[in-house]
Amino acid sequence: MTHITDQRIVVLVGGVGGAKLAHGLAQIVPPEHLTVIVNTGDDFWHYGLRICTDLDTVMYTLSGLVDPANGWGVGGDTVLTLEALRRFGEQPWFRLGDQDLATHLIRTEALRAGESLTSVTRRLTSALGILHPILPMTDAEMPTIIETVEQGTLEFQEYFVKQRWQPTVTRIDYANAERATLSAEVIAALDQADLILFGPSNPWLSIAPILAVPGMRDRLLARDVPRVALSPIVGGQALKGPAAKLMAELGYTVSASAVAEYYGAIINGFVYDDRDRHLNIAHEALRATTLNSVMHTDADRATLAAAMLTWVQTWNADKVGGAV
Ligand code: FO1
């Protein structure tokens, strides 16, 4: 496909949904014009290994290695190591594939040797043939902590995988946030961006941790460029995962409108699904449009990414107007 933009684009993403949009963009935007900034609030230590699920989901998706059924992990991977753990009486609750383990071994060794997460991610992605920069939101550990009614305080993966996101959420915190900083690479990408996109990731679990890195919100707000989010809520439902359940628990109506309201001044553009076209989301500070936003195939991803970029390009032709 030919490149339809020479704009420099930054896209902020979490796991599976965000990785699909990043993949769509990577198909149509050259590597020097697209940077993917990834949530690391889901990262955790497990059996002595540093697991960075969203970084790996984006990496495996962009390299074509991803398991198409789950949207995470390596396609066709085996779990012989997990089965061997059972011999020792372990009851593994987090499915680590044998090939996936190689990623965690290299990353953990590098981190223990003092390399930054940004640096080792660059080495891993390059080795898999990915040319587009994939950056962790911060090099610091900044785990998302979930307060629940039934199980008390849980780390993200305990809530998401071990408890299958069933506990009722009352509050979400980001541990160590006060010590986290933006990397030079993230700052440069944000400062040079002509367009900032927010993937169709869970705003509370995947995008909020990125916004919680000190300095991130202010840098975004300081950029007088299109800042456009894609709704993960379609037809009043989450495309995947706990977004709808979580919204209800946190007191929001489950709708694309509530997602736009949650982002507030952080965004000035919003894309939501055609089947929600009855919702009036645009206002004087927010342009909005509907598109077919459900991505089934690789081609769907590129088509949606192209449609988003084409829509944003119409903004310049229509500088005066508010809502499109
Ligand atoms: N999700 C699950 O629901 N169960 C798992 O056992 C699991 C293992 C796993 C291993 C590596 C990896 O990169 C992702 C994995 N995920 C698993 C997905 C992951 O928990 C979520 O995609 C994100 O953290 C939420 O965005």
Average pLDDT of 223-230? 97
Q: What is the pLDDT of residue 196?
A: 98
Task: Supply the pLDDT for residue 237.
Answer: 93
| pLDDT tens-digit series, residues 177-213 | 999 999 999 999 999 999 999 999 999 999 999 999 9
Write down the pTM of the prediction. 0.96
Give the single-character DSSP code of 88.
Answer: T
Q: What is the largest CA-CA distance in the chain?
A: 67
Distance, in Å, from the CA atom of 22 to the CA atom of 301, rounded to the nearest integer, reads: 8
CA distance 210 to 21: 17
Residue 176 has pLDDT above 50, yes or no: yes
The answer to whether residues 62 and 130 touch, using CB atoms and an 8 Å cutoff, is yes
- Indicate which atom in ligand 1 lies nearest the CA of residue 96: 10
Candidates 96, 212, 75; CA nearest to 157 is 96
What are the pLDDT digits (tens) for 72-84?
999 999 999 999 9
Q: Which residues line ligand 1 (CB under 6 A)?
A: 14-16, 42, 53-54, 56-57, 72-73, 94-96, 100, 157, 160-161, 206
Percent of the chain at pLDDT above 70? Answer: 96
Per-residue pLDDT tens digits for 270-303: 999 999 999 999 999 999 999 999 999 999 999 9
